[in-house]
Structure 1
Amino acid sequence: MPRQNTLIGTHPVPPNIIGRWLNSTNHPETDRQCHRSLAETNNLTEEELVDWLADKIILHHYKESQIDRLKNKYGELGFEEYAENIRMIPNWDDTRKGNMTEIILCEYILSSTGKPLIKTYRFRYSTNVDQSMKGDDVLMVDYDNENDDIEVFLGEAKFRQDPSAQVVRNIADSLSTDTKPLSFTFLVERLLESDSTTDIGNRLDQFVVETIRQQGKITYSGLLLSKTDCADTVQNNLDSDNQKLVFLSLGVDDPTALMNKVFSKAEEKLANPEQL
Structure 2
Amino acid sequence: MATKKQLTAQSKLIGKHPQSGLFFDWFKCEDTPATAHKKHRKLTNKGISKATLIDHLSQWIVKHHVTEARLARIERKKQLLDKHGFANYMDGRVPFPVKSATTQKGNLGEIILAEYLTESSGLEILVYKLRYNPNVEQSMKGDDLLLFEKQNIQNKVIMGESKFRATKSKQALDDIVKSLSNKNLPISLTFVSDRLEEMGDVDLADEVDDLITNLHTKKTPVIYVGFYHSETSAYKTIEKHLNSSNSDLVIVSYGEDNPNQLIKDCFKEALKMVMK
TM-score (norm 1): 0.92
SS where residue 149 of structure 2 aligns?
strand
Q: Describe the superposition over 1:19-66 as per-residue Cα deviations: whole angstroms up to 9, x where unpaired.
A: 111111001000110000100012x31111101000000011011111
Given the alignment, which residue of 107, 111, 115 partners 2:115? Answer: 107
User: Which of the residues 77, 80, 84 maps onto 2:87?
Assistant: 80
Correspondence for 2:18 = 12
Counterpart residue number, 2:175: 170
How big is the shift at 1:214? 2.5
Q: 1:120: how far off?
A: 0.9
Provide the C-alpha distance between the structure 1 equivalents of 2:230 and 2:211, rounded to a whole number of angstroms: 36
* 1:118 Cα deviation from its structure 2 partner: 4.0
1:2 paired with 2:8, answer yes
SS of equivalent to 1:140: strand
Q: 1:182 and 2:187 equivalent? A: yes
Unaligned regions of 5+ residues in structure 1, if any? none
Structure 2 partner of 1:214: 218
Secondary structure of the 1:205 match is helix
One of 142, 157, 160 as aligned partner of 1:155: 160
Is residue 231 of structure 2 the alignment partner of residue 223 of structure 1? no
Cα distance in structure 2, aligned partners of 1:37 and 1:123: 27
Residue 171 of structure 1 aligns to a residue in which SS? Answer: helix
Structure 1 residues 17 and 236: CA distance shift in structure 2, 3 A: same
SS at match of 1:240: coil
Return the alpha-carbon distance in structure 2 between the equivalents of residues 35 and 215 of structure 1.
26
CA distance in 2, matches of 1:142, 1:18: 21
Contact 2:189 2:212 in 1 (8 A): no
Which ranges in structure 2 are unaligned for 5 or more consecutive residues? 1-6
Question: In 2, are the aligned partners of 1:180 and 1:213 still within 8 Å (CA)?
Answer: no
Deviation at 1:207, TM superposition (A): 2.2
Q: 1:188 to 1:51 in 2, by over 3 A?
A: same
Alpha-carbon deviation of 1:143? 3.8
- CA gap 1:60/1:118 in 2 versus in 1, 3 angstroms: closer
Does 1:49 find its partner at 2:57? no
The equivalent of 1:92 in structure 2 is 100
Q: Structure 2 CA distance, aligned partners of 1:220 and 1:209?
A: 19
The structural deviation recorded for 1:198 is: 2.3
Q: Counterpart of 1:177 in structure 2: which amino acid?
A: N
Contact residue 155 and residue 220 of structure 2 kept, 8 A: no
- Indicate the residue corresponding to 1:256 in structure 2: 260
Structure 1 residue 75, shift from structure 2 partner: 2.7
Contact 1:66 1:86 in 2 (8 A): no
In the TM superposition, what is the alpha-carbon distance from 1:192 to its structure 2 partner? 0.9
User: What secondary structure sits across from 1:58 in the alignment?
Assistant: helix
**Greater shift in the superposed pair: 159-168 or 82-91:** 82-91
Percent of aligned pairs with the same amino acid = 34
Q: What residue identity is the alignment partner of 1:187?
A: V
Which position in structure 1 is the counterpart of 2:43?
38
Aligned residue pairs: how many? 266
Give the counterpart of 1:204 among 202, 205, 208. Answer: 208
- Closer/same/farther in 2, CA of residues 130 and 235 from structure 1, 3 Å limit: same
Q: Distance in 1 between matches of 2:213 and 2:94?
A: 33
Map 1:51-70; keep pairs closer than 5 Å.
51-70=55-74
Question: Per the alignment, do residues 136 and 122 of structure 1 end up closer, same or farther by CA in structure 2, a change over 3 Å counting?
Answer: same
Deviates more, 1:135-144 or 1:92-101: 135-144
- 8 Å contact kept, 1:10–1:113: yes
CA distance in 1, matches of 2:247, 2:151: 23
**Separation in structure 2 between the aligned mates of residue 238 and residue 119 of structure 1, nearest angstrom:** 30
Structural RMSD (CA) = 1.5
TM-score normalised by L of structure 2: 0.92
SS at match of 2:42: strand
The one-letter amino acid of 2:32's match is: H
